Structure formats: C-alpha cells, structure tokens
Amino acid sequence: MQVLKNNGYKFIEFIETREEDITLYQPLRGSFAVLKSSGKYLMCYNTWREQWEVPAGHREVNETPKECAIRELYEETGQIVKDLDFKGLVKTQNISTGKVKYNPIYFAYINALQPFLRNTETSKICLWDLKEKIECVDEVDFAILNTLSIQYTNNVPK
C-alpha cells in the first residue's frame, strides 16, 4: 500500500474536455505536466512538502496553461519538452473551505530523462510505475496518474 499525503485538497474528478473549452471551468488554476517514459511516470520530490509529486505549478501573468506546464516541468525537474498534449482537467476541492478549482493536465512521452537540475523546491526525480513503493505521494497527483493510466493505457504506447 502506497503512503499518500493530503495537502488540503481532495480529488473530485477528471474531466475530459477540449483544450479550447477549458475557460468554461472556473476557477482555472495552474497546470500539471505528466511525462511517461518506459512505462513509468516522472515524479519529483518536493522538499517543502516532503512528498513525491507530478511537476505542476501556478500560471504567471499572460502565460497560457500549456506554457505554464512546460515551464514548471523545466523549473522542477530540468526536463525540456517542446510540446505537451492536453488530456483534460482535474477538479479538486479544498477540504477546509469547500471551494472547487480546475487544473489543466498536459502529457508527453519521452525516450529518456534529461539530467536533473536540483533546485530549492525539488531535491530528486524518479520514474515511477505506480506500484513500486516510494516515499509519500500527494494523493491528488496519485489520483491523476491512476486516472491517466486507466484511461489511456489502451490508446497510447506504454
């Protein structure tokens, strides 16, 4: 059994929609960048929250959701991708306030990891198959990866 950590949000649902329709979902927040290589997902260890996470973060002024995902991926892991495919939105709810938010999910396959660039937020990265036991994992991120794994296993190469 994987140890999951809750950071004040619970996973509500994964919404399949077109990228051009995401502004219909409000409030729209920062983006997730999911990478898969050799059948495993890229995870980064967040030193502030002391847990494994999918690279993600807040959008900067005038930044598109996709630009946000590409930037956060690089800042947190050192991975450079030219493009990511939009997969949908994750709907989460703040456990304390009950407020809902929506985060775009972007995805890409890579052949191999590029060198990791250690930074103040991330101390290490790994490729994870969702089954191996690793230290504490964010429960929303785990739900996102499980959903993508189930929904897209038969549609794309492993």
pLDDT-based confidence at 110, cuts 50/70/90?
very high
* Of the candidates 50, 54, 60, 58, the residue with the CA atom closest to the CA atom of residue 79: 54
pLDDT of residue 93: 98
Q: List pLDDT tens digits, range 24-49.
A: 999 999 999 999 999 999 999 999 99
Q: What share of the chain is helix, strand, coil (3-state, %, to 5)?
A: 20, 35, 40
Give me the percent of the chain exceeding a pLDDT of 70: 95
pLDDT of residue 122: 96
- φ, ψ (nearest 5 deg) of residue 37: -145, 130
Q: List pLDDT tens digits, range 135-149.
A: 899 999 999 999 999
**CA dist 115 to 47, 67, 80, 124, Å?**
19, 21, 10, 11
On the question of pLDDT at 156 being above 80, the answer is no
On the question of pLDDT at 85 being above 60, the answer is yes
Domains of the chain, start order: 4-152 (3.90.79.10)
pLDDT-based confidence at 158, cuts 50/70/90?
very low
